[in-house]
Amino acid sequence: MLILRLEKQIMEFELQATAPASAARAGLITTDHGTIQTPIFMPVGTLGSVKGVHQHELRNDINAQIILGNTYHLYLRPGTEILRRAGGLHKFNGWERPILTDSGGFQVFSLSSNRKLTEEGAHFRSHIDGSKHLFTPENVVDIERIIGADIMMALDECPPGTSDYDYARRSLDLTMRWLKRGWQRYNETEGLYGYRQAYFPIVQGCTYKDLRRRAAAEVAELNADGNAIGGLAVGEPAEVMYEMIEVVNEILPTDKPRYLMGVGTPANILEAIDRGVDMMDCVMPTRNGRNGMLFTANGIMNMRNKKWADDFSPLQEDGPSYVDRVYTKAYLRHLFIANELLALQIASIHNLAFYLWLVGEARKHIIAGDFATWKPAMLENVTRRL
């Protein structure tokens, strides 16, 4: 039986609106580092830095309300001693708004040839120098306390989307046993820097409805400040992912935020919001941006294509502009072809700002009550190849 926490919630969530003919929701998450308007997209800053983007750009140009850090990577570099001496990640990287940390589970489990799972935890070798390490549910809580994120994630196993039922069941059983231990350690400890830290359990279960339902029910029992849905967008078809979100959100409490981990494309985000998801993250805006892919309200552009070579129109021709209109399609293509670093920065800022604009527009239409009629046209636009 999982230990229930009965004291006052660490993090507040106010549900402000639910869209007619949809499960889409708009809300407010309040942390000690600020308030987050949901639905929200969270830029990924794996090593304490969103690649190629300055903090002032995250605040002012992109208006990121919360960013991510990764426990696995920060544990290896710069290490917990440096982070503790700095006063936590907020002080270390100068980000004064909320931060969420992944437990590092996904990164550990992606090292298939360099890790071993036991009841104790995840034994792994560093991808940097091959040194041996162990993540347990307890020491991951301790590491996340040192990092100092406003929202900490539980250690879990993320099975491949193509896992057979027997593996998925055994994996879920291990994740839930780990959750009991991590939850107990969280409730036995306190933050190190004078502010509160929330702890989100993660619903696993691969693509099997009964496993997802069981995991969601056990997670809901904890009365945690929020809940996460993991193990999706890892090889399963998109329609299966959407089905699993629906199954889980039928059970997860409506008065707590729901975080869909590692998703995804603009279309994935709209579909997830439609199914009651409040928080999302993905490396796609920055990673794809660095490779020349731009997301816009009109469609997707490959900026290396010759068709943009003499197109002197702004990156976003109609609707909102996400970066200074001085940057034209022709100029950005030139920068990519010339391998100029500025290309990577412009594309990253543009894509992140677009993602934040997209979830902001979804929020407006949820509150206005016309999300269900707004979404289909926007979905068609964001999936178009230009």
Positions marked active-site: 102, 281
- Work out whether strand 99-102 and strand 67-70 pair parallel, antiparallel, or are unpaired: parallel
Relative to beta strand 227-229, strand 202-203 is parallel
Residue 34's beta-bridge partner residues? 31
Give the integer Cα–Cα distance in Å for 231 and 157.
Answer: 8
Q: What is the DSSP secondary structure assignment for residue 31, as one 8-state letter? A: E
Please tell me the distance from the alpha carbon of residue 242 to that of residue 225, in angstroms, as a whole number: 24
Those residues with Cβ within 8 angstroms of residue 70's Cβ, 6 or more apart along the chain or in another chain: 44, 46, 47, 101, 102, 104, 107
Q: Contact at 8 Å (CB) between 297 and 379?
A: no
Q: Is 186 left (phi over 0), alpha (psi -120 to 50) or beta?
A: alpha
Q: How distant, in Å, are the alpha carbons of 16, 24, 363 from that of 368?
A: 11, 12, 9
d(CA 318, CA 306): 22
Whole-Å CA distances, 378 to 53, 101, 327, 328, 375: 27, 31, 24, 23, 5
**E strands present in the chain:** 12-18, 25-31, 34-38, 40-42, 67-70, 99-102, 115-117, 122-125, 132-135, 151-153, 198-200, 202-203, 227-229, 258-260, 279-281, 293-295, 300-302
| CB distance 264 to 233 below 8 Å | yes
φ/ψ of 168, rounded to 5, equals -60, -40
